[in-house]
Amino acid sequence: MSCTVFKSTNTVDQSINVFPPKGYISSVRIVRNYDVENGNIFKFRNDNTKEFKVVGGTITCPSQGVTTPVTEVVLGTVRDIFLKLDEGREFAYLAWKDKDRIMGVNSDDGSAFYGAIADYSLGLHAEDVVSINGICLSSGSFNQRVNAWDVSEVVDVGFTFAEAINFDREINWYAPKLQWMNSFLLNAKKFNKDITLRAAKPKWMNSFLENASSFNSKINVDTSECDNFSGMFMAASKFNQPINFNFGKAMFLNNFLNGAREFNQPVDFGNMPLLTEAYYLFAGSKMNSPIKFNAPNLTDASGWFSENTVFNSTITGSFRSVVSMAYMFWYASSFNQPINDWDIRNVLNFTGFLTAATSFNQDLSSWPAKFNVNANIEGVSVAPNWSTENYDKYLNALWLDVGTTRRNEWANGTSPRVVLASVKRSAASKDAVSGLTGAGWTIIDGGLA
């Protein structure tokens, strides 16, 4: 009997059977990426001192003087750790001695890094992880399924997929302890999957989907404890889904939908007793649906509809506590709704309020009696197509208040005392103009009709 023996040059990779070594808590497999030039290089960041060990590769860290490749090293806070896979290896294993995550790369120029991939397809690096902040930050090649991740103990997911520009996977997590979700998908430009966060009640969702320019899917999350929504959908240029959030604890709504160019849904913000800032809320969007809100402590409503060229709908709510309305309708070229009944008694800054609001032609004759005598009001009268009739009414009402009703208050106020308009006035406001200029006011307008 004869026997033929086939000899192979391939060896069985046993590293998985002995890894991670005793004393090491966290580990992740680093997989070679054949689709990019640097597919054998994994670059990552570390925010806390860690003792690393690698099998199947070596580590260098130039900024901490580790220029000779090593397999074991202690590194502090550093942004440029390089793991290079050994020649012929499909993957390596990286381990460290705590539960803290390693992070992706945030380069100085904001670009993503393309190279070997941290394999989280079967789960995270350790059990009972508290933070995955930045775990896939700027990982340009990352697009693995993440629903297997156990985030039941996770508190912080800020920047998890920020700048992961090819990531596009459904997110469905049970996350009862989750609090911080800021910049979760910032600049994740291809992401367009549903997000479900069961049992989560996050406190921060600022910049959550900022510049996620493909996103137009559903978000299922309880926002009843969230206080910061600033920039949540800023520059999410395709987003146009109903927003049924609970804004009851909201303090900041700045830039919430600024640059969400397709957004046009009715928004009922409800009662927001803690809200103080909401500047540039709908700026640069296509918002043209009714808006309802109750925010008794709102102070900054600047730029709400700045460069929103379609908005011409109703606004239901009180601005009584607002201090700044600067640039509110800046280049809002379609807006022409009555606002005469707005409570503007505390507003100090009207800079650019109606600049280039080319459709606006409403009666504002009730406003002078409500002006704060310390306010900069010149931006109120700048609508380029305001009628002579409405401008005359405004001038007459202003002079009545300045010259008679609140004469002493205006005399002692700090208002710049400027009326700025591009439209013409008629003889109907002649006495008002004479009185105002005599009281030290400067009137710059289109002259007599």
> For the segment 38-57, what is each residue's pLDDT rounded down to a tens digit?
899 999 999 999 999 999 99
What was the pLDDT predicted at 5? 38
Same domain, residue pair 131 and 195: yes
Same domain? For 103 and 177 the reply is: yes
Peptide bond into 20 cis (omega under 30): yes
Strands 195-198 and 171-174: parallel
pTM (global) more than 0.95:
no
Residue 205 lies in a domain: no
Give a yes or no: residue 275 inside a domain: no
Question: Once rounded to an integer, what is the mean pLDDT over residues 260-272?
Answer: 94
Grade residue 110 by pLDDT with cuts at 50, 70 and 90.
Answer: low
Residue type, 181: M
Specify if 29 maps to a domain. yes
Domain that holds residue 27: 2-96
Residues 67, 109: one domain? Answer: no
301-313: average pLDDT? 98
Tell me which of 96, 122, 143 is where a domain ends. Answer: 96
> Do 81 and 29 sit in the same domain of this protein?
yes
Query: What number is the average pLDDT over the span 376-397?
Result: 98
Number of domains the chain contains: 2
* Range scoring the smallest mean pLDDT among 33-37, 281-285, 427-431: 33-37
Residue-wise DSSP of 267-331 = EEEEE-TT--B-TTSSTTS---S-EEEE-TT--B-TTTTTT-SS----EES--TT--B-TTTTTT
User: Which two structure tokens, joined as six digits, stand for 398?
Assistant: 């202003």
Tokens of 353: 């309020």
Q: What percent of the chain has pLDDT over 90?
A: 91
User: Sorting pLDDT into bands at 50, 70 and 90, what band is 8?
Assistant: very low
Number of H helices, E strands in the chain: 3, 17
Q: What is the mean pLDDT of residues 358-372?
A: 98
Domain assignment present for 280: no
pLDDT of 211-256, one tens digit each? 999 999 999 999 999 999 999 999 999 999 999 999 999 999 999 9
With 90 as the cut, is the pLDDT of residue 107 above it?
A: no
pLDDT at 109: 60
- Taking the C-alpha atoms of residue 200 and residue 154, their distance in angstroms, rounded to an integer, is 10
Whether residue 82 is found in the same domain as residue 169: no
Q: Is residue 305 included in any domain, yes or no? A: no
> Is the Cβ–Cβ distance between 153 and 178 less than 8 Å?
no
The predicted pLDDT at position 171 comes to: 98
Mean predicted confidence (pLDDT) in 129-146: 95
The two three-digit tokens of residue 203, written as one number: 């406190």
Closest CA to 29 of 431, 21, 20, 225: 20
Q: Is residue 277 part of a domain?
A: no
Is 110 contained in some domain? yes
Domain boundary pick from 67, 96, 125: 96
* Beta-strand pair 78-85/57-61: antiparallel
Does residue 406 form part of some domain? Answer: no
Q: Are 11 and 87 found together in one domain?
A: yes
Q: What is the mean pLDDT of the chain?
A: 94
Separation of alpha carbons 439 and 410, rounded Å: 10
Q: Say which residue, 115 or 106, is predicted with more confidence.
A: 115
Do 167 and 186 fall within a single domain?
yes
pLDDT at 108 over 70: no
Residue-wise pLDDT tens digits, 408-440: 999 999 999 999 999 999 999 999 999 999 999
Helices (H), 54-156: none
Task: For residues 274 and 142, give the distance between their C-alpha atoms in angstroms, rounded to a whole number.
Answer: 39
SS3 for 50? strand
